[in-house]
Structure 1
């Protein structure tokens, strides 16, 4: 019986790669356990080698767990062009200024009796609101100090499972594979929010001297050539840091460049993506109020607001590599 002797070196190499990967994963999880994590690292949906340290330790970027608010018409220290996350979009709206979230990344809040996590990852410019309820319990989220694809990895303080902020799914731990429900929100200028909601509630720092609120610690980031702390593949047909809109359709997302939407509204399968100027980038100038205008987008279907995110092209590409970016 003939044997293909050429296959043996290939098999040997594959075995060595597997053993090296397994050894690396074991060393990595041992190191994380040494940091005090009680996460079940035997359960994961990703390659653990994709997770890297972002620098700060767990909760080194502290979430806001007891948020304070003031009426919009009483706020005097936020420039009208500064970006805020408006949630909910209809009704009794609240504003979460990026000047605060850029330093905290997560706000655990309750809005209209619904526990929500209002999140912002500066390295991905991803502002997403999640329903914190899962299986009848309410989760509270903090920052792990870890990144995957330059995106914030959150953790819940109940099971210490690790959650990917951009996708809202648990990627490590007992809740691996579970998803948080995303809720429609919108980035608008503070002036727009105040005009529409003069008595609307605006998030303010618990301690105004805790951080340099109003300053951008990522100066010139959104015009850089490459993302920070990113190890994945960059798109080859659009600049890595170009802004794109990712529309959550419940199936394959629609991804369209901001430059395309600036020219005219984009419509597809009943979804409409339109652009409005007048909103400063939180990731451009040293002072957020002086950031270049990147505007905001409005995404609707049949008149209803749709979950979407205004992020960077490299983020859309690494999380949805098979979905083309419409330009």
Structure 2
């Protein structure tokens, strides 16, 4: 809680100070004491109330005009709530060596979440290494982000709202039906408005690279075979260099194709790094950040069969301290237009 100056106490009196203190506590508790400001109540489609009866649409930090329907309604893209995992030996019979997966290790436990599954579900609710997580993938942004789902110490479960903002998925939590921006992990609407989920370090990497790092790791497989055409890419050629983002109304970046891949590192968002630059150099060091690229990972958004997509390579992002110790950094491999629209005034290094 913020300190109240003594002279302020004398002027206002104890009752007034108590009221001020209560206001501060309430603001801090609601998680909106940051740069974000609640907007005045807005008109919105009343169908939202029917779809999300627990949601509080009087509380928002974004203009509702920015929120678009992605087509499917709430849970039309079904999150995975009871994930099924198999050994690497079993998974090798299913997944190609260069297929993309989200590799995650928490407290010594390692799991891979293949994009051929997440493309059709976008969110997997899981507990790994004792930590409740949401493993998320937005194909329209190529944003693969893992969140610790605890909010105010309480684990939450997430679903796909069926809405987009700036071409990025809006998630919702099932406890309060607040709406959350997947790219930032910030609640845009509802009880948790202004609060942010903690991101966890993860990698988009080839299945083969995951198996090399974690030979005893476990691998996600579909809970029900045939529920979706797993292995197929419904966004064929979406990441073509001359492509355009879907359901997007913002500005496009200058000097770089909008669908070019860039790397954004948490804590260093004033710049993003073009993947083409890292691929050309192999390794790039920028202060404590080291980025490296190696060949051998398919794009999940290129050809109809994910396993046949063009090679976009593997990115590793780590911090390096004075002793030379390396630690995986929270980062996102996304598209240039995503960086441009979400990071105001940032620079793409290329």
TM-score by length of 2: 0.84
- Indicate conservation of the 8 Å contact 2:106/2:128, yes or no: no
> Which residue of 2 is the match for residue 18 of structure 1?
none
Partner of 1:103, secondary structure, is coil
Partner of 2:134, secondary structure, is strand
Q: Say if 1:190 and 1:116 are closer, same or farther in 2 by CA, change over 3 A.
A: same
Asked whether 1:118 is paired with 2:135, we answer: yes
> Which residue of 2 is the match for residue 9 of structure 1?
none
Partner of 2:348, secondary structure, is coil
Per-residue CA deviation, residues 146-190 of structure 1 (Å, 9 max, x unaligned), is 000110000000110000000000001110000000000001111
> Which residue of 1 is the match for residue 331 of structure 2?
308
- Indicate conservation of the 8 Å contact 1:41/1:172, yes or no: yes
Partner of 1:221, secondary structure, is coil
- Which of 189, 192, 195 is residue 178 of structure 1 equivalent to? 195
CA distance, structure 2, for counterparts of residue 89 and residue 272 of structure 1: 21
- Which of 262, 266, 274 is residue 244 of structure 1 equivalent to? 262
Any unmatched runs of 5+ in structure 2? 1-39, 321-325
What's the CA shift for 1:74?
Answer: 1.6
What's the CA shift for 1:261?
Answer: 0.8
After the TM superposition, which of the residue ranges 183-192 and 85-94 deviates more from structure 2? 85-94
Following TM superposition, the consecutive aligned residue runs of length 4 or more in structure 1 with deviations greater than 3 angstroms are 34-37, 251-254
- Which of 54, 70, 89 is residue 70 of structure 2 equivalent to? 54
CA distance, structure 2, for counterparts of residue 30 and residue 62 of structure 1: 23
Partner of 2:46, secondary structure, is helix
What's the CA shift for 1:237?
Answer: 1.8
Per-residue CA deviation, residues 179-205 of structure 1 (Å, 9 max, x unaligned), is 000000001111122233233100011
> Which residue of 2 is the match for residue 282 of structure 1?
300
CA distance, structure 1, for counterparts of residue 260 and residue 292 of structure 2: 17
CA distance, structure 1, for counterparts of residue 288 and residue 81 of structure 2: 38
Instruction: Trace 1:35-184 onto structure 2 (pairs within 5 A).
Output: 35-75=51-91, 76-88=93-105, 91-184=108-201
Asked whether 1:323 is paired with 2:346, we answer: yes
- Indicate conservation of the 8 Å contact 1:73/1:194, yes or no: no
What's the CA shift for 1:139?
Answer: 0.4
CA distance, structure 1, for counterparts of residue 310 and residue 53 of structure 2: 40
What's the CA shift for 1:73?
Answer: 1.3
Per-residue CA deviation, residues 26-70 of structure 1 (Å, 9 max, x unaligned), is 1x2423224344311111111111000000010010000011100
CA distance, structure 1, for counterparts of residue 60 and residue 314 of structure 2: 35
What's the CA shift for 1:238?
Answer: 1.0
Instruction: Trace 1:184-199 onto structure 2 (pairs within 5 A).
Output: 184-199=201-216
- Which of 234, 249, 262 is residue 231 of structure 1 equivalent to? 249
> Which residue of 2 is the match for residue 6 of structure 1?
none
- Indicate conservation of the 8 Å contact 2:106/2:129, yes or no: no
CA distance, structure 2, for counterparts of residue 47 and residue 272 of structure 1: 37
- Which of 7, 30, 47 is residue 31 of structure 1 equivalent to? 47
**Number of aligned pairs?**
304
What's the CA shift for 1:90?
Answer: 7.7
| RMSD of equivalent CA atoms | 1.7
TM-score by length of 1: 0.90
- Indicate conservation of the 8 Å contact 2:106/2:131, yes or no: no
